[in-house]
């Protein structure tokens, strides 16, 4: 099967989509193992070493082909697919956990943007920046950043067990559904007002 075409990476804004698309393309081409496995020793398994070299060249070629003309000169000197992949990730990856945690703690909610998307972004940063699998710390910090109506409901609902991401999501979804229903009712009322039927 031919690998799928990947949009060219031209900077940090498109990195996550590029990375996921590139991984899919490399798996489709059967060469994604190059990114994680070590090459076989050439003297012990010459046929495997030749296949590895072929796969590495294909992997490296796919990655280079998916870099913009602006970025290509910065990465073309990497001799293997694995080192090339790591170099691009060092430049455009989310960053070490401390960076993600700082971005999470600095994050402020914007009333003009979709609440659920902002929570998803905050949760991703918080989990990337926190070393444990327990979401309690992330939920506690996130809860303090939420708009007052969501924060207060989350705290009230979570008195016994503490605030959890599950509770935050349930409350935020309920608030969003309520907001959308109110908008629909307001739209019907505006459409049915006498001024609109003159």
Question: What is the C-alpha to C-alpha distance for residues 121 and 148, in angstroms, rounded to an integer?
Answer: 19
Summarised one tens digit per residue, pLDDT across range 133-179 is 567 888 999 999 999 999 999 888 877 778 889 999 999 999 999 98
Residue with tokens 């929570």: 119
Residue with tokens 């008195």: 159
Question: What is the C-alpha to C-alpha distance for residues 189 and 195, in angstroms, rounded to an integer?
Answer: 11
Contact present, 52 and 35 (Cβ < 8 Å)? no
Q: Residue 132: which pLDDT band, with cuts at 50, 70 and 90?
A: low
In the chain, domain spans: 12-92, 97-197
Question: What is the C-alpha to C-alpha distance for residues 176 and 117, in angstroms, rounded to an integer?
Answer: 11
pLDDT above 70 coverage of the chain, percent: 91
Please report the pLDDT score of residue 134 as a whole number: 65
Summarised one tens digit per residue, pLDDT across range 58-83 is 999 999 999 999 999 999 999 999 99
108, 132, 183 from 176: Cα distances, Å: 18, 29, 11
Question: What is the C-alpha to C-alpha distance for residues 94 and 9, in angstroms, rounded to an integer?
Answer: 15
């Amino acid at each position: 099967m031919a690998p799928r075409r990947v949009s060219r990476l031209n900077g940090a804004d498109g990195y996550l989509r590029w990375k996921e698309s590139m991984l899919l393309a490399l798996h489709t081409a059967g060469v994604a193992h190059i990114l994680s496995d070590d090459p076989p020793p050439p003297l012990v398994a010459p046929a495997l070493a030749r296949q590895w070299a072929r796969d590495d060249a294909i992997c490296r070629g796919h990655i280079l082909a998916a870099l913009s003309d602006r970025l290509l000169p910065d990465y073309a000197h990497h001799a293997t697919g694995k080192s090339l992949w790591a170099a691009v990730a060092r430049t455009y990856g989310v960053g070490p956990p401390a960076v993600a945690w700082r971005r999470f703690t600095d994050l402020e909610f914007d009333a003009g943007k979709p609440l659920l998307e902002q929570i998803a972004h905050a949760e991703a940063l918080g989990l990337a920046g926190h070393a444990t699998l327990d979401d309690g710390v992330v939920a506690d910090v996130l809860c303090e950043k939420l708009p007052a109506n969501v924060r207060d409901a989350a705290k009230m609902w979570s008195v016994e067990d503490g605030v959890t991401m599950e509770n935050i999501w349930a409350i935020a979804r309920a608030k969003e559904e309520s907001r959308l229903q109110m908008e629909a009712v307001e739209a019907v009322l505006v459409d049915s007002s006498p001024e609109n039927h003159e």
